[in-house]
Amino acid sequence: MKNDTSRRDWLRYAGAGILGAAIGASATYGTSPERYAERPTGPRTKGVVPTAPIKLGIVSWFSGPSAMVGEACYNSAIMAADAINAGGGILGRRLEVIKRDAGAPDVTVEAVRRFVLEDKVDLMAGDIGGSNANAITPNVEQLKVPFFLQCSTTVKMVEELDPNPLYLFRSGEQNLAEPIVAAQIISTKYPDAKRIAGINPDYVYGREAMGYTMMALGKLAPHMESVLETWPPLFATDYTTHITSVLNSKPDIVLTACWGGDFVTLCKQGTAYGLFEKTHLVSIIGAMALNSLTKDILPEGVDMLQRDYYFLQPPHNLFPLNKWFVEEYHKRFNKYPEFDCHQMFSAIMAYKQGVERAYDYVGGWPENEDVCKAIQGTSVVGPGGYRAITNDGQFLNPLPYGTTKHDPNYPIVTLDPATVGFVPVEAVYNPKPVPPILKYKLGTGMTYSDWMDSW
Amino acid sequence: MSLRSEYEFGIMALLSLMLIIPMYFPRYYVYIIAVTLCYAIYALGYNLIFGYTGLLSFGHALYWGVGAYTVAAFMRPELGPFRIFSMEALLVLSVVTSALVALAVGSICVRYTRIFFGLLNLGFVMLWYSLLLKLYYITGGTDGLPVYTPTLLGQSFTAEVFRTYTYYYYVLAIFLATSLMMWRVVNSHFGLTLKALRENSLRAGFVGLDISRYRLASYVLSGIWGGIGGALWAPLSGQVSPEISTWLTSGDIVLMTILGGMGSFIGPVIGAFVFLNLKVQIMHYTTFWQLFLGSAVILMVLVLPGGICGAASSLRLRRTKTAS
Amino acid sequence: MLSMGFDTITFTILNGLYYAFSLFLISLGLNLLYGILRILNVAHGGFYAAGAFFTWYLMKNAHDAGLPLSVLFVCVFVGALLVGVLGMILEPLLYKRLYRKREEYSLLATFGLMLVLDDVLRLVFGSQPLSAGYLYAGIGSMQIFGRPFPIYNFVIYAFAIGVALSLWLLLFKTNLGRITRATAQDTEMSSALGVNTSLHYTKLFTLAIAIAGLGGAIYLPATSAYPGMGFEAIVLSFVVMVVGGLGSLKGSLIGAVIIGLVRAFGISLFPEFELAAVFAILVIVLVFRPRGLCGRKFSREEK
């Protein structure tokens, strides 16, 4: 019978399979530690440094509406690499930069794994967004390669997913920081406002931004309440309906955590539908789209938080590194650096510092673990200034903010220097005792006494 | 050598190769092949409804998603002491959930055929997708849900060993088991009936067959296989997100089946291997994999509707003809 | 709903129509192709995207050359025309061979073409979103109930209605239209009577594709062209097709308007809903009235 024959065949196959499995099982090679060593574990000779280049893997958005983010990350990475290589590299080794595209969380996780397992990178960096960041966090610790996360530091990651990281460095401020600052700005600048609305992308970052801002406002200005929150999906292209329904609810202030291409579209459509005329817009992270924010789509008077770097601060006449950085970036790429660029640059510099420190300590080329330990608890200087790095790998950044202005010297929308302020890190995490936001106008010649008079 | 023993020899050689892969291949490729095996199970299931029953569904990724999200959901830290780490239990749960969903969706879909069947399935997968996106607090929205390392037969492993060694054998074993089951299904009375339905449903109805019931059974089985594939894949990936079940990813499985050759048993498995590995290789050189795979599909439809297996069997036919 | 003021309702309706007409323009061509040629053209989204990209290229260069707004407006038509030409080239190469095949095969082939089109556009135009909003900003906004509303939206409304009317006139009031409809009903008879059916198919195909390109072109000033836009567009058009009835031109208008309005009111009243509402409508229609609102009844072979 036909059925019997196939069953016999299958039994034969199964038998062969079991035999094969026995062969396989006898080779315990699969679980031996040598198989999982990242590098050949031989004796470490003092003073021996490999000559092969150091590979830096950049994972970020290189396609789609927020391709500008990947571009910024990659450009600043190669700028940093060129500067380092011109100075002799890291302990004589060149720094090479390769890139991969992020996408949905499972795609990004795979990209990170491929970087480590196939491309054998020494470190990784990039702005990948909160969803992806949450996804890769446990993998980073398992893969044992330092990852400098730009910008996408979610509260969930800090509190739940990886509270004691070794390999993960967060060069951007935590998602908690901006909502608190936004709440401070709203409560001090618009004390009479009552109705708050929100247009935020529907994913972890948008939810955290809006949620924590309202929570902070609940303490700082309890008379304000949220009248309408709309949640367009991330990378939506049509905000007109959202804008209309938000305006229908007649808010005093509209809070938005849209970033990248989303913010550009929101501004474009908002201009046409009167979003800026009818209400005050507070943008938490629109500054990421710096180079696309032209004067026809973003009017003056909009409050924008700058995450942790605004390219005109520290003032170029006072801080040569920033002057060099902005001019060099503009010369090479015909764009102005946004905060991802500063974060990337500082991260790479921190890595270089960490390697050099660890080398001094260890006496040979350090393992990733040593490098990470040598970075934690130190500080690094970037175009935006000095940044302390905590023992859990968090870069501490003050938060610049300001109101938009159309300056004829720049093709893009910049901030009105009179409104630019910094919220120091301590005040971010401790808002109540701090008096109303004080802004000393650096480099403008104002005297201390005049400034104090102005409080 | 006769046809039969050629076939046997080929299969045994392949099997032995599969067994020693984790020892000699780089870790990343072991992972890729394990993923491919999951897709192969999914493809086998899809072939039942597409190749054998003749219904084109553009929403099969629904079951992949249901299986994957079931695994992720039962591992959530929020469940506390009720978390399930046993892969066996998770697989059973995935079978149950995908069967239930397939029963519900299928009972609506099998009333129709051809384009409507395809569009109805598309509607359901996109409905599932948009619910996954919107119910942020249940499904994690765009972020998705993390998937932790489960235990295999009660043993737990470190994540690295799991993903690149032990889990591979587990997936291979389940693949073999499910292939054997599917082989029995398609070569049974049931399978032959499905083929009859595909060829001429009108006549089948006249003969007295309850068309809808057979189609529904076929649909539910294919949904279950899809759920198993997705459930097995989830711990490999470590993360499930809504993007895994859209109409586009449903399109991928259709492509795999066409590529390998629908209507043959092993076709979709070959299609899955070729498609995924081709994609990985193409992506080494360029990000424009859609260009190549899309062109391949167009060529397939115009020139080689039997897919790889069809081409292979017509080649063999020609060989045996000239031989005799 | 009753708590919504008159101005709110007006704005919501206007927004709904804005969204609806983009769906209408794609699904119109889709229904033409399915109703007459029996091809479900998944690649239609790709032609929509091509319209947006081609128009972007034309507008950007026109603007940089300092040409006035009227010229930019003409770019929209030129872009659509170019897409029509693209269709004309692809028809004999690919689509002609699909007419005889089973519907599922043509679905698969056009799906493959969609992938190819998306990648080719990405190859040629890059991965960044491309915007050319000069027309949108240039025409400006008018005040409705005290709030600005872009005048360009009315251009879109006028356009869409114009296309609908022209197509209706073409198909029902001209000789060409009559012959085309006859060919659709009975190809053999038509060619027996001396009609060059092949040429007619090509013409019809080009028209349908050009309409899709027009859809992309007319919306470009208001949004931007970005990779992957074709996929989004096509899946929503499927919903419209099903709701309106596969193959029905009237249905594509009605279906699009329903989907657009439901989405607009949904976002206003239940902001959490959005996309799920659209697909829920799809499923409901497929379950309770699968032939759609204006579709023809099922034939025996389709059950």
Q: Is residue B136 part of a domain?
A: yes
Q: Identify whether the C-beta of residue B120 lies closer than 8 Å to the C-beta of residue C285.
A: no
Distance CA A333, CA A329 (A): 6
Q: Identify whether the C-beta of residue C52 lies closer than 8 Å to the C-beta of residue C232.
A: no
Q: What is the pLDDT of residue A39?
A: 40
CA distance readout (Å), C92 to A14, B231, C140: 52, 44, 43
Using the Cβ of B190 and the Cβ atoms of chain A, whether some distance falls under 8 Å is answered with: no
As a whole-number percent, the residues of chain A with pLDDT over 70 amount to 83
- Contact between A24 and B136 using a beta-carbon 8 Å cutoff: no
What is the C-alpha end-to-end distance of chain C, expressed in Å?
40
Distance CA B129, CA B137 (A): 15
Q: Identify whether the C-beta of residue B279 lies closer than 8 Å to the C-beta of residue B293.
A: yes
Residue C297 phi, psi dihedral angles, 5° rounding: -70, 155
Q: Which chains touch A (3 or more CB pairs under 8 A)?
A: B, C
- Contact between C131 and A237 using a beta-carbon 8 Å cutoff: no
Distance CA A432, CA B146 (A): 36
Q: Identify whether the C-beta of residue C135 lies closer than 8 Å to the C-beta of residue C58.
A: no
- For B294, which of C116, C279, C283 is closest by C-beta distance? C116
Q: What is the mean pLDDT of residues B58-81?
A: 92
Within 8 A of B245 by CB-CB distance, chain A residues are none
- Contact between C301 and B202 using a beta-carbon 8 Å cutoff: yes
C106-158 tens-digit pLDDT: 888 899 999 999 999 988 998 778 888 888 878 888 888 888 888 899 999 99
Q: Identify whether the C-beta of residue B37 lies closer than 8 Å to the C-beta of residue B177.
A: no
Q: Is residue B315 part of a domain?
A: no
Residue B253 parent element (H or E): helix B247-260
Give the nearest chain B residue to A10 (CA atoms).
B180
Q: Is residue B220 part of a domain?
A: yes
Using the Cβ of B46 and the Cβ atoms of chain C, whether some distance falls under 8 Å is answered with: no
Q: For chain C, where are the E strands, in sequence order?
A: 141-144, 147-150
- Contact between C127 and A62 using a beta-carbon 8 Å cutoff: yes
- Contact between B165 and A3 using a beta-carbon 8 Å cutoff: no
∠ Cα A204 A205 A209 (to 5°)? 120
C positions 225-264 inside 8 Å of B (CB): 231, 235, 238-239, 241-242, 246
Domains of chain A: 54-173+318-392 (3.40.50.2300), 177-306+399-453 (3.40.50.2300)
C209-258 tens-digit pLDDT: 999 999 999 988 888 888 888 988 898 888 898 888 888 888 889 999 99
- Contact between B293 and C115 using a beta-carbon 8 Å cutoff: yes
A130-189 tens-digit pLDDT: 888 888 888 888 888 999 999 888 877 877 777 788 999 998 877 777 888 888 889 888
Q: How confident is the model at residue A291 (pLDDT cuts 50, 70, 90)?
A: confident
Short-list A330, A300, A326, CA closest to A314: A326
Within 8 A of C121 by CB-CB distance, chain A residues are none
Using the Cβ of B156 and the Cβ atoms of chain A, whether some distance falls under 8 Å is answered with: no
- Contact between C276 and B134 using a beta-carbon 8 Å cutoff: yes
A244-254 tens-digit pLDDT: 889 888 899 99
∠ Cα B177 B180 B186 (to 5°)? 140
DSSP single-letter state for residue B291: H
∠ Cα A409 A415 A417 (to 5°)? 90
- Contact between B28 and A3 using a beta-carbon 8 Å cutoff: no
- Contact between A244 and C12 using a beta-carbon 8 Å cutoff: yes
Distance CA A376, CA A392 (A): 7
Q: Please state the ipTM of this predicted complex.
A: 0.83
Q: What is the pLDDT of residue C96?
A: 83
Residue B54 belongs to domain spanning = 26-246
Residue A316 parent element (H or E): none
Q: Identify whether the C-beta of residue C108 lies closer than 8 Å to the C-beta of residue B115.
A: no
- Contact between B23 and A233 using a beta-carbon 8 Å cutoff: no
Within 8 A of A241 by CB-CB distance, chain C residues are 12, 15-16, 19, 263-264, 267-268
Q: Is residue B281 part of a domain?
A: no
- Per the DSSP assignment, residues forming a β-bridge with B170 are none
Using the Cβ of C290 and the Cβ atoms of chain B, whether some distance falls under 8 Å is answered with: yes
Sign of CA dihedral C283, C285, C291, C295: negative
CA distance readout (Å), C295 to A389, B271, C233, C248, C255: 65, 37, 22, 6, 11
Lowest-confidence pick of A69-78, A134-143, A406-415, B255-264: B255-264
Written as six digits, the tokens of A172 are 């951007």
Assess whether pLDDT exceeds 80 at residue B232.
Answer: yes
Q: How confident is the model at residue A441 (pLDDT cuts 50, 70, 90)?
A: low
- Contact between C111 and B254 using a beta-carbon 8 Å cutoff: yes
Residues 6+ apart with CB under 8 A from C128: A63, A67, A68, A71, C226
Within 8 A of C238 by CB-CB distance, chain B residues are 119, 122
Q: Is residue B56 part of a domain?
A: yes
Written as six digits, the tokens of C51 are 């319209």
Q: What is the pTM of this model?
A: 0.83
Within 8 A of C17 by CB-CB distance, chain A residues are none
Lowest-confidence pick of A25-34, B37-46, B178-187: A25-34
User: Distance of alpha carbon A90 from its chain centroid, rounded?
Assistant: 24
Distance CA A444, CA A91 (A): 41
Give the nearest chain A residue to C127 (CA atoms).
A63
Q: How confident is the model at residue A13 (pLDDT cuts 50, 70, 90)?
A: low
| Total residues belonging to chain B | 324
Written as six digits, the tokens of A26 are 């006898």
Q: Is B146 helix (H, G, I), strand (E, B) or coil?
A: strand
Helix and strand tally (H, E) in chain B?
A: 15, 2
Q: What is the pLDDT of residue A287?
A: 86
Assess whether pLDDT exceeds 60 at residue A44.
Answer: no
Within 8 A of C275 by CB-CB distance, chain A residues are 233
How many of the other CB atoms lie within 10 Å of CB of A158? 18
C171-191 tens-digit pLDDT: 888 887 888 778 777 777 777
- For A64, which of C222, C227, C272 is closest by C-beta distance? C227
Mutation choice for B interface testing from C279, C289, C297, C300 by most B CBs within 10 A: C279
Give the nearest chain C residue to B247 (CA atoms).
C235
Q: Identify whether the C-beta of residue C167 lies closer than 8 Å to the C-beta of residue C249.
A: yes
Domain count, chain B: 1
Within 8 A of B77 by CB-CB distance, chain A residues are 160
Q: What is the pLDDT of residue B1?
A: 42
